[in-house]
Amino acid sequence: MSGPKLALLKRAMRFVIEKLDPSDRLSVVAFSSSAFRLFPLRRMTAFGQQQSLQAVDSLVADGGTNSAEGLRKASRMVEDRQAWNPVCSIILLSDGVDSHNLPPRDGSAPDYAPLVPRSILPGSEHHFPIHAFGFGMDYHSRAMHAVAQMSSGTFSFIDMVGSIQDAFAQCIGGLLSVVAQETRLSVECADQGVLLTSIKSGSYASGVDGDSHGGFVHVGRLYADEERDFLVTVRVPPSRVSTALIRPSCTYRDAVTAEMARVGGDPVMLLRPEFPVSAGMSLQVEREWHRVHATEDMAAAQAAAEDGHYTRAASILEARRLLLESCASLSWDQQTQALVAELREMQERVLNPQLYEGSGRAYILSGLSSHSWQRATARGDSTELTGLVHRYQTPSMVDMLSRSQALQPEVPEALSWTPSISSSPSPAPIPAPTSGSPRPRRGLRSFRPFQFH
């Protein structure tokens, strides 16, 4: 990374440093063929910010890319820290092909597990997410996506020269607003005859009890104002009277007080009217059903493109897009229209091997990361506040994005070009870890009513 890209990176890191509070601590690890700590974990007081800004300005380009060594260096620093902030994360940025962890030459599936230290993976004492950012076209997007997935983090694809600061702004807008950790959703059948058959939870670990009378989803961290939608399927016994279906509850650790808390939900009732009534599917349920299946189609299209079947990949995405566009009940729904726009963009980027290798793979993987965790990632124009594809952005993210865009009025220049489908009717630093006390003094909100069809 050199020239304008390095200058943009420094500007983005300056933005991050200036937006941290004295209670936050930051360290930066730079890596090329080897990794070194640019500066240790330090509080972002006025003096700490000044020292950090000077260190960032001293960064120069070097040869090679060894992201695994950079992550090992960052994880050791976090594990050995003397003082602990309530929330800790690693942000990984790379614009180069990893020259020390190359995929197998025999065509076999690559093993990305060695890239992430086991000591920070889910289930370990020091688990924290890695939010990975791929910058440009010359890096292993599959490796970056795998690193993020293994650690419960997100993968963002930055293909616009001037968008790196916005991508960082959106990310830290979330990291600085964590309100709940160790969040676990439990679902209990409220009637003996009701059976829980499945829970669609994306990348979140979930399960159904052996007797099908209960289930769970491990959600983990939640940012302020975030919501999660999970599609729960139940088998309901015949009856002439109203039936209580399920009773949800949630436990979590308050990010401010570090105390465990529990939130209960009202049981979901299935009414049994005496006479037939006409009722359509709940908008929330229909929207989530389509989102889940669209995400599955994204994964299927990505797999087809990896096998060289680009026409097949585009057809999968087009079929789902046309189905969504034909849903009259969702024609006015903003989230559905955003999903349609995203599917169209993906379709544009898988039309041939040049487009797919250039930006399509990374764009789809970033979309899969976003939908599987139901968390905002940067890709294409998703950080443009006037665009369509910005689902999952929280008010804290939008606020930080607004601050970032107020400082850079120029229009970002695209690093790649894709055709248009008309609608139907060097060294890269790891700012690691960002760890700070959460701003909001809010607990987890009560459940939104569950709705079934």
- Mean pLDDT (the chain) is 86
DSSP assignment of 242-273, as one string? Answer: -EE-EEEEEEEEETTT--EEEEE-PPPEE---
Per-residue pLDDT of 74-112, as tens digits, reads: 999 888 888 888 899 999 998 866 656 656 666 677 888
- The enclosing H or E element of 214 equals strand 214-223
The pLDDT, as a whole number, for residue 139 is 67
Task: Kindly tell me if the per-residue pLDDT of 403 is higher than 80.
Answer: yes
Selected residue with higher pLDDT from 146 and 85: 146
Class of domain 3-178+377-436: alpha beta
Give the separation between CA 113 and CA 233, rounded to whole angstroms: 33
pLDDT category of residue 13 using cuts at 50, 70 and 90:
very high
Average the pLDDT over 150-174 and give the result: 92
Confidence of residue 419 (pLDDT cuts 50, 70, 90): very low
Q: Pick the more confident residue, 337 or 413.
A: 337
CA distance 18 to 52: 10
Domain boundaries, the chain: 3-178+377-436, 179-276
Residue 226 CA: distances (Å) to CA of 129, 159, 221, 378 = 17, 26, 10, 17
Q: What is the pLDDT of residue 427?
A: 42
CA 241 – CA 232 distance, rounded (Å): 22
Whether residue 275 contacts residue 264, with contact meaning beta carbons closer than 8 Å, is answered with: no
Q: Would you state the pLDDT for residue 422?
A: 42
Share of the chain above pLDDT 90, in %: 63
User: What is the third-level CATH fold of 179-276?
Assistant: Immunoglobulin-like (2.60.40)
**Rounded mean pLDDT, 280-288:** 89
- Per DSSP, the residues of 337-369 read HHHHHHHHHHHHTTSSHHHIIIIIHHHHHHHHH
Q: Do domains 3-178+377-436 and 179-276 have the same CATH topology?
A: no
Average pLDDT rounded to a whole number, residues 302-319:
98
